[in-house]
Amino acid sequence: MFLSQLYLKNFRNYKHQHLKFNQNLNLIVGANAQGKTNILEAIYLLGTGNSHRTNLDSELVNWNKDNFYIKGELIKKSQNYQLEVNYQGRNKIIKINSNKLQRISDLVGYLNIVIFSPEDLSLVKGSPSRRRKFINLEVSQISSYYKHLLTEYGKILKQRNNLLKEIRDNNIPQHMLQVWEQQLIDTGSKIIKRRLEALDKLSILAKLMQRKITDGKETLLLKYDTKLEINTESSIQEIKEQFKYLLNKKREREIEHGVTKVGPHRDDISLIVNNIDIRKFGSQGQQRTTALAIKLAELEFMKAEIGEYPILLLDDVFSELDEGRRFKLLKVIQNKIQTFITTTHLKQVQEFNGKHKFFKIKKGSVIEG
């Protein structure tokens, strides 16, 4: 899988830009605030339908313009795909091979992406929501059904939370919760089961990557962290029963606070290195190694699930990694994964000796090398 071309119109600080990429490594070099990350953001948007930096599409539009347009040419399993995102007047139209998609979520799974940026170091030490976002994107890219489940769960959760507030504030009978609770349990249990299955595979790969990066000194374990008394072997029915039990147990407290306190929207991922919770007690170096190991595991997980490596976006992470970790990363991706690296200093990637192409960025202008 590789992205052969990218066309930008009125996107961020690019008025018109047409880029042709190397199918191995693409080095995007320039000073800060020149537009390097904007190129990666456009690629990410082609893969997911959304930006990884903002929830507001209007922020992606070039100054004094009211629209943007992105087009990419993707080669996947020897087939050609043309991906288009057109934003105008608060409407976002997405097309694949000129066919308009009914839902943005239908785009996910065509251009598979793994992104690693300095913010991704918070994957280890950040909030649980950061790790939930990680696993949700990972599973969504290999399962459109999972993406649908997330959307449905979000709607059900919102309705149940509204009803909890109504019960608290207006004394509506509690039995009104039953309909929403059953839907919450059914949909939420399927999400949890899919996460358990994916995390079981990811944990094996992450363990291998952590040992490889640390020369066998560290062992990493990924574990699904939930209030439900379940494990990887738990059936859907067992998950549903646990879910229902906890909802009943916490109902009075949920009504008091007006929010649902049990479910996949509250779960987390434990990261254990040598029997220590690295989220709380790991050094900065250990946390960075763990984040890198998880990202490398993502690549192998996607390869195993879809038959091809995804595209890798590395946004200024070389400034955050020491020479040893950079070398380990380059050794993994060299000549087998299409990779886009942004950096302010060319010397940070000079150790790479595979096939590559340079792009020098200055004030939204690109010089290809």
Model pLDDT for residues 334-344, shown as the tens digit of each residue: 788 999 999 88
What tokens appear for 19 in the block? 């880029």
Query: Are 188 and 243 contacting, i.e. CB atoms less than 8 angstroms apart?
Result: yes
Which phi and psi (to 5°) does residue 11 adopt?
-100, 120
- Residue 321's alpha-carbon distances to 105, 118, 183, 315, in angstroms, are 33, 10, 45, 12
Q: Among candidates 12, 148, 111, which has minimal Cα distance to 69? A: 12
Please give the biggest Cα pair distance in the chain: 69
Q: Among candidates 38, 316, 4, 360, which has minimal Cα distance to 369? A: 360
Q: Among candidates 68, 76, 128, 136, which has minimal Cα distance to 105? A: 136
Q: How far from the centroid of its chain's Cα atoms is residue 276's Cα?
A: 25
Q: Please, is 60 exposed, middle or buried when counting C-beta atoms within 10 Å of its C-beta (0-12, 13-18, 19+)?
A: buried
What are the pLDDT tens digits along the chain (369 aa)?
999 999 999 999 999 999 999 999 999 998 888 999 999 999 999 999 999 889 899 999 998 889 999 999 999 988 999 999 999 888 999 999 999 998 888 888 899 999 988 778 778 988 999 999 999 999 999 998 999 999 999 999 999 999 999 999 998 888 889 889 999 999 999 999 999 999 999 999 999 999 988 889 999 999 999 999 999 999 999 999 999 999 999 999 999 999 999 999 999 999 999 999 998 888 888 888 899 899 999 999 999 999 999 999 999 888 777 788 878 888 888 788 999 999 887 666 665 666 788 899 988 888 887
Architecture of the domain delimited by 1-112+308-369: 3-Layer(aba) Sandwich (3.40)
What tokens appear for 212 in the block? 């490889």
Handedness of CA 46, 49, 55, 61 (dihedral sign): positive
Query: Are 110 and 74 contacting, i.e. CB atoms less than 8 angstroms apart?
Result: yes
CA-only gyration radius of the chain, Å: 22
What are the sequence ranges of the domains in the chain?
Answer: 1-112+308-369, 123-306
Query: Are 135 and 123 contacting, i.e. CB atoms less than 8 angstroms apart?
Result: no
pTM beyond 0.85, yes or no: yes
153-185 as b/e, with b when 16 or more CB fall inside 10 Å? Answer: beebbeebbebbeebeeeeeeeeebeebbebbb
Q: What superfamily would CATH give domain 123-306?
A: RecF/RecN/SMC, N-terminal domain (1.20.1050.90)
In angstroms, the CA 151 to CA 132 distance is 14
Which phi and psi (to 5°) does residue 291 adopt?
-60, -40
Query: Are 52 and 100 contacting, i.e. CB atoms less than 8 angstroms apart?
Result: no
Q: Which amino acid is at 353?
A: N
Model pLDDT for residues 185-243, shown as the tens digit of each residue: 999 999 999 999 999 999 999 999 999 888 899 999 999 999 999 999 999 999 999 99
